[in-house]
């Protein structure tokens, strides 16, 4: 059943979080729906502009819709991840999406708020939920001062006004995570003081954690053993920290990198161990099965299993 993220968040706030899984090709779509059906977990399926340019918007939307027929009973939202106005307009026009993110977080507060507000008006007119972002994710580097770092995290003093001005349905916050396989280069984890400050000003309001991948060390090691060259400094988010963040209002945990690492590991190992082979469907099948298992465990960890 296709639902909005708003409906999903109303049920999960403070109790469990829902995985928001990026999809860019068919095997991932199968895995997400298979895992959600098996675990009876609500899930958010999301596509970025990059995925759209790769696969085509119609291909992504029809794969997701078809998967919901192949795996009946799955409760899911279909969400535009990191959208700009043109992507969001197309998504609203298509009628396929129930949720969009407007990523205007690199603009100043006022401009971010006004761009977000304009998207909210258009999206809400069609019953589509809107995620906005305040703060700069992934810009937190080792070599900047504490004051500069603070400026990049979401400022708890700004969140209440931002939500009031924009009427967005959820807020992506910068609380220490970043995108990709090399998180926490400065050694810092999730900033619970900031998260607590945000929740104090927005009690009951759904927060979104981007950069939610675990980046399992064994995946990195196996990729490198099979010929890859990923840095040993690869690092992801600790499961205990994610679980703790749920109490502070984190309702949506975005995952893209873990899917990519697993694809890299599975295909590298397959072709390294059977160099005479040239069959995409063999590693493809392994990937679908292993990624579905990975996601099933993720739903258990987030507490969303059994909640659909």
Among 176, 211, 249, 284, binds ligand 13P (CB under 6 A): 211
297's tokens? 């465990």
**Which of 169, 210, 240, 288 is closest to 19 using CA atoms?**
210
Question: CB count, 10 Å around CB of 267?
Answer: 18
**Angle at Cα 11 formed by Cα 5 and Cα 15, nearest 5°?**
115
Closest approach of Cβ 173 to ligand 13P, in Å? 12
Using CA atoms, how far apart are residues 95 and 112, in angstroms rounded to an integer?
25
Residue 298 tokens, joined: 């993720």
Shortest Å distance, C-beta 263 to ligand G3H:
13
Site for Na ion (CB under 5 A): which residue of 32, 34, 39, 81?
Answer: 81
Task: Return the structure tokens found at 302.
Answer: 């987030």
Binding-site residues from annotation? 82, 103, 133, 179-180, 210-213, 254-257
306 torsion bin: left (phi>0), alpha (psi -120 to 50), beta (else)? left
Q: Which member of 5, 129, 154, 254 binds ligand 13P (CB under 6 A)?
A: 254
Q: How far apart are the first and last CA of the chain?
A: 10
Which residues partner with 254 through β-bridges?
20
Taking CB under 6 A as the rule, does residue 256 contact ligand 13P? yes
The annotation places the binding site for dihydroxyacetone phosphate at 180, 211-213, 254-257
* Site for ligand G3H contains 179 (CB under 6 A): yes
- Member of 117, 122, 124, 179 binding ligand 13P (CB under 6 A): 179
Shortest Å, Cβ 145 to ligand 13P:
25
Tokens of 112: 């971010």
| Nearest approach, Cβ of residue 159 and ligand 13P (Å) | 19
139 binds ligand 13P (CB under 6 A): no
Q: Which does 50 bind (CB under 5 to 8 A by kind): ligand 13P, ligand G3H, Na ion, none?
A: ligand G3H
Task: Tell me whether residue 81 is one of the annotated catalytic residues.
Answer: yes
For ligand 13P, give the closer residue by CB, 179 or 244: 179
State phi, psi for 44 to the nearest 5 degrees: -110, 120
Closest to 304 (Cα-Cα) out of 12, 65, 2: 12
Phi, psi (rounded to 5 degrees) for 109: -45, -55
Question: Could you say whether residue 50 binds ligand G3H (CB under 6 A)?
Answer: yes
Site for ligand G3H in 249-268 (CB under 6 A): 256
Contact 283, 266 (CB under 8 A): yes
Any idea which residues carry the catalytic annotation?
81
Catalog residues that contact Zn ion under the rule CB under 5 A.
Answer: 210, 254
Residues near ligand 13P (CB under 6 A): 22, 81-82, 179-180, 210-213, 254-258
Under the rule (CB under 6 A), what is the footprint of ligand G3H?
22, 48, 50-51, 81-82, 179, 256
């Amino acid at each position: 059943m296709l639902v909005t993220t708003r409906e999903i968040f109303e049920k999960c706030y403070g109790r469990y979080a829902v995985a928001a899984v990026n999809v860019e090709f068919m095997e991932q779509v199968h895995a997400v729906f298979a895992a959600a059906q098996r675990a009876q977990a609500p899930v958010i399926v999301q596509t970025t502009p990059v995925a759209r340019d790769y696969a085509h918007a119609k291909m992504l939307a029809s794969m997701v819709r078809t998967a919901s027929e192949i795996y009946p009973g799955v409760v899911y939202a279909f969400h535009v991840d990191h959208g700009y106005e043109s992507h969001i307009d197309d998504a609203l026009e298509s009628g396929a999406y129930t949720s969009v993110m407007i990523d205007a977080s690199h603009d100043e507060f006022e401009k971010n708020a006004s761009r977000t507000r304009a998207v909210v008006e258009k999206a809400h007119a069609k019953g589509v939920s809107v995620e906005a972002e305040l703060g700069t994710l992934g810009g937190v580097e080792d070599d900047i001062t504490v004051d500069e770092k603070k400026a990049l995290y979401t400022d708890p003093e700004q969140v209440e006004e931002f939500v009031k001005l924009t009427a967005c349905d959820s807020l992506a916050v910068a609380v220490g995570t970043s995108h990709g396989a090399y998180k926490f280069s400065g050694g810092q984890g999730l900033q619970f003081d900031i998260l607590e400050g945000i929740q104090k000003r927005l009690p009951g309001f759904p927060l979104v954690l981007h950069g939610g991948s675990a980046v399992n060390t064994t995946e990195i090691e196996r990729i490198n053993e099979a010929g890859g060259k990923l840095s040993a400094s690869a690092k992801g988010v600790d499961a205990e920290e994610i679980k703790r963040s749920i109490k502070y209002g984190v309702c949506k945990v975005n995952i893209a990198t873990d899917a990519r690492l697993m694809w890299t590991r599975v295909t590298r190992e397959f072709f390294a161990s059977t160099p005479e082979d040239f069959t995409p469907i063999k590693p493809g099948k392994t990937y679908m099965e292993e990624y579905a298992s990975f996601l099933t465990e993720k739903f258990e960890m987030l507490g969303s299993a059994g909640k659909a």
